[in-house]
Structure 1
Amino acid sequence: MNALTLPDIAAQASRQALPLDWVGMCGIALPVVIDGQRTSALADAGVSLDDGEARGIHMSRLYLALEMLEQQNLDPALLRQVLQRFLDSHDGLAQQAYLRIHLDLLLKRPALVSPLAGWKRYPLSIEAQLKNGMFHVELKIDVPYSSTCPCSAALSRQLIQQQFIDDFANQALQHSAVLAWLGSTQGIVATPHSQRSHAELRLRLDSFIDELPLIAVINDAENSLGTAVQTAVKRADEQAFALANGQNLMFCEDAARRLNLALRRSPGINAFALRVVHAESLHAHDAVAESRWNWEA
């Protein structure tokens, strides 16, 4: 019995000659190596279909090219190699290649005071493009933090002042009595409201950068805000966290400005767009601020 040649439908001519901007696959499961650690990720891989006469691309070739990501540390050079393989395997069909990698970056973060430490999750996307010989890499990083409302803090202080007047009116003040009052719920009658917040950072990297500045960017962002959420804590850490929130009262506008200034100083970044979201505890809606630098949509 003669072997039959398997049909290649994708190689047939299209009935409607029309180029396409992006063709590929989304949600491909694969392992990647970040800073020497292997982690699971999802990848979106695609190319442009510039030959409008062609019916389709060779998706299996994109899939096989992703094997390069399994063993080598993820950096701009490796991303470019993968994109170039996308194009080489579609010579005559595609002039542009795209790769998006979605993963959770796990970093072990120390407590503020105690020797404890724990793992914190940072949702991360890495987008790479090779278009007409130009290579671009963008990062999307979500950084959680805590925010305490300055207005609520001021109103709480005013209530405490009024309670102090009511409790000590026409009395000779004694140090021990005032100290006890300050440590009681009778004296501290109000506290400011805080909320878990997060910063959505979208960063465009310099073309000459050798490494992905993931940890450096996260550290710069958290240091600028001063109220990074914690993992494992003892009471001393919780107290230090309360102090950090009290010393870093901020509206969403304040947080956006802090991040803007910090990211401008971060090496390897030539443009960014950021969005901060404060999940209000007073209101049922969120407070949001956005800021850009050198960013063109």
Structure 2
Amino acid sequence: MNAMNLPDIAAQVAQQSLALEWVGMQQIAVPILFKGQPLPARANVGVSLDDGEARGIHMSRLYLSLEVLEQRPLTPALLREMLLGFLESHRGLSNSAYLQLSFEAMEKRPALISDLSGWKRYPIVIDAQMKNGMFHVELNVEVTYSSTCPCSAALARQLIQQQFEADFSDRLLEMSSVLGWLGSPQGIIATPHSQRSTANLRISLKEQVQEFPFSMLIDSAEAALATPVQTAVKRADEQAFALANGQNLMFCEDAARRLHLALLGLPEAAGFELEVLHAESLHAHDAVARSSWNWRQQQLQEA
């Protein structure tokens, strides 16, 4: 059969006239170029169907347009160009276009003390949209870290003090005896509880940003928290990690405030939302804190 004679059902008039906000495809397997290397990703892609009389959109056009992701480096400019292409291929049908990319970035991290290093994965989601002629892109990154409960630490210290008083109240204090006691199981009878915690950071990027600040965002967050989870370690690294936890006791509120202040210093950010989740080891539920900031709103308030 001649291809020119194949039926185009999508071009038919809809049985019921109604515009739709989003029509497209989800979980499309695509390779992207990330730091010069191909990386597997998933894409959600769609457009609005503003012509309520149209039966459907041209999904194959959207699908084929994703091929550019394996040919060119991933930048905000590339995503803007792709969204404009989505609209051009749906001229007369759509006024808005959407693209979401999900993947895992790999960053090599050194140990705290030793010469070891290892790879960490950072789940990343990029949301881009072209709506009413305006381009907007957001970067979402997940960072894991350790959090030690300040309340638990205080309670543990109190128990240690009580044990010290019970063991030494009627004894002459000698340095060697105290040192031995501090290093014994009967001396340090309690320890504070820690948990693996997660920070989800959603950054709205300024229009003039040319490159995605993946590494800068991750580095800023981990430096602010001071206790990012480790990769390869020796005992000296594990001891240094215990010291970092002891010096950075954190409720979820503390972690959220640290991250908020750190993200305010990110020059590429036009605004952000963040959520920290402490998967508690004491309770069967999680502790959560959220914060946000928008530079446009602040400018209006200061004007």
Q: So what's the TM-score if we normalise by structure 2?
A: 0.95
Aligned counterpart, 2:170: 170
SS of corresponding position for 1:170? coil
Aligned counterpart, 1:124: 124
Write the distance in 2 (CA, Å) between the matches of 1:3 and 1:112: 63
Write the distance in 1 (CA, Å) between the matches of 2:223 and 2:193: 22
Q: Residue type of the partner of 1:227?
A: T
CA contact 1:103–1:125 (8 Å) conserved in 2 = yes
Identity of aligned residues (%): 66
Aligned counterpart, 2:188: 188
**C-alpha deviation, 1:37, in angstroms:** 2.0
Aligned counterpart, 2:262: 262
The alignment status of 1:292 with 2:301, answered yes or no, reads no
The alignment status of 1:46 with 2:46, answered yes or no, reads yes
**C-alpha deviation, 1:295, in angstroms:** 8.2
The structure-2 alpha-carbon separation of the partners of 1:48 and 1:271, relative to structure 1 and needing over 3 Å to count, comes to: same
**C-alpha deviation, 1:2, in angstroms:** 7.5
Write the distance in 2 (CA, Å) between the matches of 1:46 and 1:254: 39
SS of corresponding position for 1:92? coil
Aligned counterpart, 2:247: 247
SS of corresponding position for 2:5? coil
Q: So what's the TM-score if we normalise by structure 1?
A: 0.97
**C-alpha deviation, 1:3, in angstroms:** 7.5
Q: Residue type of the partner of 1:63?
A: Y
**C-alpha deviation, 1:269, in angstroms:** 0.4
Aligned counterpart, 2:8: 8
Q: Residue type of the partner of 1:245?
A: N
Write the distance in 1 (CA, Å) between the matches of 2:272 and 2:232: 32
Write the distance in 2 (CA, Å) between the matches of 1:82 and 1:290: 33
The structure-2 alpha-carbon separation of the partners of 1:102 and 1:254, relative to structure 1 and needing over 3 Å to count, comes to: same
Write the distance in 2 (CA, Å) between the matches of 1:230 and 1:113: 11
Aligned counterpart, 2:299: none
Aligned counterpart, 1:159: 159
Deviations 1:16-65 (A, max 9, x none): 11111001000000100112221100000000111111110000000111
The alignment status of 1:233 with 2:241, answered yes or no, reads no
The alignment status of 1:90 with 2:90, answered yes or no, reads yes
How large is the Cα RMSD of the aligned pairs?
Answer: 1.4
Map 1:11-160 → 2, pairs under 5 A:
11-160=11-160
SS of corresponding position for 1:18? coil
CA contact 1:273–1:295 (8 Å) conserved in 2 = no
**C-alpha deviation, 1:170, in angstroms:** 2.4
Aligned counterpart, 1:216: 216
Aligned counterpart, 1:197: 197
Q: Residue type of the partner of 2:112?
A: L
The structure-2 alpha-carbon separation of the partners of 1:3 and 1:14, relative to structure 1 and needing over 3 Å to count, comes to: closer
Write the distance in 2 (CA, Å) between the matches of 1:68 and 1:96: 20
Q: Residue type of the partner of 1:87?
A: L
In structure 1, the gaps of 5 or more residues are: none
Q: What is the aligned residue count?
A: 296
In structure 2, the gaps of 5 or more residues are: 297-303
Aligned counterpart, 2:179: 179
Q: Residue type of the partner of 1:43?
A: A
The structure-2 alpha-carbon separation of the partners of 1:94 and 1:155, relative to structure 1 and needing over 3 Å to count, comes to: same
CA contact 1:44–1:99 (8 Å) conserved in 2 = yes
SS of corresponding position for 1:200? strand
Aligned counterpart, 2:300: none
Write the distance in 2 (CA, Å) between the matches of 1:246 and 1:34: 36
CA contact 1:222–1:228 (8 Å) conserved in 2 = yes
Aligned counterpart, 2:301: none
Q: Residue type of the partner of 1:158?
A: Q
Deviations 1:237-276 (A, max 9, x none): 1001000000000000000101101001111001111111
**C-alpha deviation, 1:145, in angstroms:** 0.5
SS of corresponding position for 2:281? coil
**C-alpha deviation, 1:11, in angstroms:** 0.6
**C-alpha deviation, 1:292, in angstroms:** 1.0
Write the distance in 2 (CA, Å) between the matches of 1:136 and 1:112: 38
**C-alpha deviation, 1:206, in angstroms:** 0.5
